[in-house]
Amino acid sequence: MDGRRTDGTARAAAPRGYTLIGADGRPCHSDVAGRFGGYRRGRIYGRLDCPSALRHIARGHYVRHRVFFADEATAVAARYRPCAVCLPDRHRAWRTGEPA
């Protein structure tokens, strides 16, 4: 298809970008990719290169429930907890209630 409608007019291009989760926990559009990934069902966030998350994704898990955050502060504000595998110091602080 050449991008034209049946009446001959051009179709509007779909907006490019990323869907991230905001501090309020709701999806929002961003032109910049997220720096942290998360698992919606477990409310966990971590680095995009987290070995545990990558293993689950490779097995076909997480994908439907994967979310992304612009930064760590947004993930925390959305009430996600740090991953014990890729963010062990932050996870320990979260468990003990200490500031990170």
Query: Model pTM?
Result: 0.76
The token duo for 33 is 């990719």
Task: Specify the pLDDT at position 9.
Answer: 58
Alpha-carbon distance of 39 to 37, in angstroms, equals: 7
The token duo for 93 is 């602080």
CATH 2.60.120 correct for 18-96: no
The token duo for 45 is 């966030």
Across the chain, which distance is largest between two alpha carbons, in Å?
Answer: 63
Task: Specify the pLDDT at position 5.
Answer: 54
**Residue 100 pLDDT class (50, 70, 90 cuts):** low
33: β partners: none
**Residue 16 pLDDT class (50, 70, 90 cuts):** confident
Closest among 94, 64, 79, 73 to 26, alpha carbons compared: 79
- For 87-94, what is the mean pLDDT? 96
